[in-house]
Amino acid sequence: MNAIISVICYKSKTLSNGEHPLMLRVAQNGKSRYKGLGLSVQAKHWDFDRNEPKPTCPNKELINKIILKTRLEFQEKLLEKKANEEEFTASSLINEQKEAIKAQTVEEFYLSLVNDLREKGQVGTSYAYLNSYRMLKNFNKGKKLNYTFSHINVSFCRRYEEWLRARGNKDTSISYQFRTLRAAFNRAIEAKAVSRDKNPFTEFKLSHLSAKTMKRALSKKDILRIMQADCSDCKPIRQLAQDLFSFSYLCGGISFVDIANLTPRNIIDNRLIYQRQKTHGGINLQLSPEAKKLIAKYADYQRGADYLFPILHYKRHITPMQKTNRVHKVCREVNLELRALGKELRISATVTTYVARHSFATVLKKSGVSIGIISQALGHQDIKTTQIYLSKFDNEQVDDAMQNLL
Determine, yes or no, domain membership for 101. no
Do both 134 and 173 map to the same domain?
yes
| Count of C-beta atoms within a 10 Å radius of residue 380 | 20
| Count of C-beta atoms within a 10 Å radius of residue 291 | 22
Give the largest CA-CA distance in the chain.
Answer: 92
Determine, yes or no, domain membership for 189. yes
Pick the more confident residue, 226 or 119: 226
Q: What is the pLDDT of residues 277-323, one digit of tens each?
A: 877 788 888 888 999 999 999 998 988 888 999 999 988 888 888 88
- Structural domain ending residue among the three candidates 45, 76, 95: 95
CATH number at residue 259: 1.10.443.10
- pLDDT higher than 70, residue 262: yes
Let me know: does 237 contact 337? Beta carbons within 8 Å: yes
Do both 132 and 246 map to the same domain?
no
**CA dist., res. 311 & res. 292, Å (int):** 18
Do both 136 and 157 map to the same domain?
yes
Determine, yes or no, domain membership for 29. yes
**CA dist., res. 194 & res. 172, Å (int):** 28
Determine, yes or no, domain membership for 215. no
Q: What is the pLDDT of residues 141-156, one digit of tens each?
A: 999 998 889 899 999 9
Do both 24 and 160 map to the same domain?
no
- The beta-strand segments (E) located in 184-280 are 267-268, 271-275
Do both 195 and 54 map to the same domain?
no
Neighbouring residues of 189: CB distance < 8 A, sequence distance ≥ 6:
195, 196, 199
> What is the number of alpha carbons within 13 Å of residue 56 lying toward its C-beta?
6
Let me know: does 244 contact 355? Beta carbons within 8 Å: no
Q: What is the pLDDT of residues 1-41, one digit of tens each?
A: 578 888 999 998 998 888 999 998 888 888 888 888 888 89
Do both 363 and 277 map to the same domain?
yes
Q: Residue 28 is inside which H or E element, if any?
A: strand 20-28
Instruction: Compute φ and ψ for 337, nearest 5 degrees.
Output: -70, -40
- Structural domain ending residue among the three candidates 151, 178, 208: 208
Do both 376 and 228 map to the same domain?
yes
Do both 185 and 229 map to the same domain?
no
Pick the more confident residue, 71 or 368: 71
Number of domains in the chain: 3
Determine, yes or no, domain membership for 100. no
Domain of residue 139 covers 106-208
**CA dist., res. 81 & res. 136, Å (int):** 41
Q: What is the pLDDT of residues 338-380, one digit of tens each?
A: 999 999 999 988 899 888 887 877 777 766 666 666 666 666 6
Do both 130 and 68 map to the same domain?
no
- pLDDT higher than 90, residue 261: yes
| pTM, full prediction | 0.58
Do both 373 and 333 map to the same domain?
yes
Question: Coil, strand or helix: which one is 140?
Answer: coil
**CA dist., res. 52 & res. 40, Å (int):** 12
